[in-house]
Structure 1
C-alpha cells in the first residue's frame, strides 16, 4: 500500500514555477498602530498589478495579529498570514518570511516603514529593465524548490530549556478537514508528554478549519504557530510552511484527519532518547472511519524492537510497512535533507524514499502498540489511485529508485538484490487489482492492470491466476463468471492478517 495522505489526493496540483507573481509585499515585525494604514495603502486603488502580501507576525502582543487576520479575510486570496508561537526575533522572522514569498521580487516592510506605491512601481520597472540593478529594500528572489526542506531557523535555547525534555514539533497541514480537526487537536493536547509545539498550516480551506485553528491557538497561548496560504498552493508547500516553524529535536507530520493516542509522544521519545542510533520511531495504527468507529489490524512486526537500517531497507523493497505518514516520529537532525526532490515519485512517495534513505545510515524503532488512529475515508481516495494505476506504476518506479540508492552503499546489498523479488510481488499486485476491478464490473481498468502485470514482471505468465485471466477475455459471459468466481476464491484479495517476525539483528525493546 502506498503511503499517501488524503490531502495529497484531494488537493489540486501545485502551481508551476512560471506562474509566480511579480512582487511579494513582505510585512514582518510591523507595529500594530501603523499596520492598518500600511495595508490600506497597499490595497487602495490603483494597486500594484500581479502582487501578493505576506504578513509574518512574530508573536506580537500589540494587536497586529488581529489586524492581519481581519485584512486576510477582507482580501481573501491576496494575503498569506503566519504567526510564530514564540518570538523568533526580527532577523530570523525575516528569514522565515522570505521563504514564504512566491514573487520574482520581494518588497520588505518592517517596523513602521511607509508603503509608497508610485515609487515602488517605478523601482520595479527599473529592476525589470536592468537585470544588474540592485535596490535597497526591493530584492530579486531566487526560485525555491518547495520539495526541499526550508532553510533552518536559529533560535537561542536557554540552559533551562536544554535541561528539560526534548521539544517535539507536531506539523499539522490541513485542507478542508474542519470536520476532523478538533479531534486531531484534542488528541495532541491530551498527550502525556508535556513538551511539544504545533506547527499548523492551512491551504486556503473553504470550511471552518482556520477558525478552529485560531480558537485552539488562543486557548493554548505559546504552543501553536499558525499559517494560512492565500490560495491553495498544494500539499508540498503547505507542509513546508510547517517546516518553517519547526524547532523540535523530534517532529511528527500528523495528517489533520488523524488522531494520536495519549502516550504516542511519551513512548516514542523515550525509545528514541534511549536508542540514539535510530532515525525515527514507527508506531502501529488502528483504523478510524468517517463516523469515528475504531477497528484494528495486526501490527506489521510481532514485537517492539530496534531494527538495523540495512535490514529495514530490505523490507522496504517489498512493503511500505507503514501506510500512513502519521505513524512516524522523526529525529529532525537525522531526517534533514533526506527527502529526494525532482523525481517522478516525489509527490506521492517522497516520504518512502526519504525513510529508505535514512535507513542507509541509521537504525529505526518499531512500536507494536497502535498509538495512531488513522482515518480511512470511504472508497474515493483508493478508487482514484486504483483507477489511474498510480498504486502500481509509481511502485514500479519506486523500487528501481530504492535499488539505485542501495547500490551506492556497500552494506545495503540485501536491499539492492531484492529488486527482482520486488518486481515479482508487483506483478502479483497488478493481478490483484485486475481481479478487484473485474469484481467491481470495471473491465477497462482490469485490462490495464492485466497488461501492466506482464510489463512489470514478464515471468508472471507462469502464475495460475494470470493464466486463468488470459482466458477470461475470450470467454463467454457464463464462462467469465465461472473463471472470476474461481479466481476470487483462490486469490489473496484481502489485507494482511498476520504479523511478521522482526528482521535479523533486531533487538527487542521493553
Structure 2
C-alpha cells in the first residue's frame, strides 16, 4: 500500500529564515502524509535554529534537525542531514524552494510503479522571489534527461536538486562526496545509478525554483568557480572509479571545459582545456583551445 511508504524530505539551508518558512509550509501542505522533514542547517546566524524549534513543537514527531554551529559547506551539511533520514525515499529540497501539494504523492506513485527507477525528477516553475512572478519553466531552458548511468555521465548534472527523489536503499553509505564542496549531487546520482538503476524525468511541474540575489551567481563568483571545479573533479572521479564509462566521462569533461570559457575572467578555461587534451581529451578540446585563442586575438599559449 502506497501510504505505508515513508519519505524523508531533506532540506538543506543556510541563513534563509524567511524563505525557509515558505519552504516548510509547502512541505507541510503535501497531500501525501507519510513523511518526515529533515532540515540540515549549516550554521545559520539569522534565527533559523529558533524558528525550527518552534515548528518542531507545533508538529511533534514530524521534524528532525542537524543544526551545525559552524558553516561546513553544502556537501558536508547535506550528509549531516542525510544521516538522519529514515524514509524509503529521499526527496531533496533547497531551503528557498517550494513544493506543489501533490509532489511527494506523485513521485512516490511513480517510483513504486517503476521499480527500475532509482532516481526521478520533475519539471519546475522558475519564479522571481521579489515579485512571485513566474519567469519560465525549467524545461524551457534545459533538455530533459532519462537513462542509465552511462547517459547521466555523458549528459552531466541535472542542476535541479529540489526536483529530485532518490530510492534510499540505493544511496551509498558515504552519501554526498565531501571533496566536492558545492556540486556533489551529480556524483551522487552517478553512484546511485552505478548499481544498475535508471534516472527518469517526470514531465510535470511539481515545484517552484526561486531566483533571488543569493542564488544567481556571476561568472566570476567564488561559488561559480568552485562549482566548475566540482564538475571537472566529478569527471575525474568517473574516470578513476568507473573506467568502463571513460568515453562518456571524457566527452563530458570536454564539454565542461568549453562551457567554462567565461569563468573567472577567462583565466580558468585555457590551462584546464590544454591539460584535458594532453591527457587524452578529444579533438574538440584542441579545437576549443584554438577557438579560444582566436577569440582573444592571440595564437600563443
- Aligned ranges for residues 1-400 of structure 1 at < 5 Å? 164-291=3-130, 292-297=132-137, 299=139, 300-301=142-143, 307-310=146-149, 313-320=150-157, 322-337=158-173, 339=175, 341=177, 344=179, 346-361=180-195, 362-378=197-213, 382-383=217-218, 386=221, 389-400=225-236
| Alpha-carbon offset, residue 170 of structure 1 | 1.0
Matched residue of 1:382: which SS? coil
| Alpha-carbon offset, residue 268 of structure 1 | 0.6
TM-score for both structures, normalised by structure 1? 0.50
Matched residue of 2:183: which SS? helix
> Which residue number corresponds to residue 295 of structure 2?
469
The alpha-carbon distance between structure 1 residues 454 and 391, as it changes in their structure 2 partners (threshold 3 A), is farther
Instruction: State the distance in 1 between where 2:143 and 2:71 align.
Output: 38
The alpha-carbon distance between structure 1 residues 211 and 293, as it changes in their structure 2 partners (threshold 3 A), is farther
Q: For each residue in 1:104-137, what CA deviation from the matched residue of structure 2 results, as whole angstroms up to 9, or x when unmatched?
A: xxxxxxxxxxxxxxxxxxxxxxxxxxxxxxxxxx
Matched residue of 2:204: which SS? strand
Matched residue of 2:123: which SS? strand
> Which residue number corresponds to residue 249 of structure 2?
419
Give structure 1 stretches of 5+ with no counterpart: 1-161, 408-412, 438-444, 475-510
| Alpha-carbon offset, residue 325 of structure 1 | 2.1
Q: For each residue in 1:88-119, what CA deviation from the matched residue of structure 2 results, as whole angstroms up to 9, or x when unmatched?
A: xxxxxxxxxxxxxxxxxxxxxxxxxxxxxxxx
Cα RMSD for the two superposed structures: 3.1
- Count of aligned pairs between the two proteins: 289
Q: For each residue in 1:41-100, what CA deviation from the matched residue of structure 2 results, as whole angstroms up to 9, or x when unmatched?
A: xxxxxxxxxxxxxxxxxxxxxxxxxxxxxxxxxxxxxxxxxxxxxxxxxxxxxxxxxxxx
Greater C-alpha Rg: 1
Higher relative contact order (CA 8 A, sep 6+): 2
| Alpha-carbon offset, residue 473 of structure 1 | 9.3
Q: Would the aligned equivalents of 2:10 and 2:93 in 1 still touch at CA under 8 Å?
A: yes
Q: Would the aligned equivalents of 1:288 and 1:374 in 2 still touch at CA under 8 Å?
A: yes
Instruction: State the distance in 1 between where 2:76 and 2:254 align.
Output: 35
Instruction: State the distance in 2 between where 1:456 and 1:191 align.
Output: 46
Instruction: State the distance in 2 between where 1:348 and 1:250 align.
Output: 23
Q: Would the aligned equivalents of 1:317 and 1:399 in 2 still touch at CA under 8 Å?
A: no
| Alpha-carbon offset, residue 187 of structure 1 | 0.8
Q: Would the aligned equivalents of 2:22 and 2:98 in 1 still touch at CA under 8 Å?
A: yes
Instruction: State the distance in 2 between where 1:279 and 1:163 align.
Output: 17
Of 261, 266, 269, 1:446 maps to: 266
Q: For each residue in 1:458-497, what CA deviation from the matched residue of structure 2 results, as whole angstroms up to 9, or x when unmatched?
A: 65453574253241699xxxxxxxxxxxxxxxxxxxxxxx
Q: For each residue in 1:356-375, what CA deviation from the matched residue of structure 2 results, as whole angstroms up to 9, or x when unmatched?
A: 12222212221122222122
| Alpha-carbon offset, residue 251 of structure 1 | 1.3
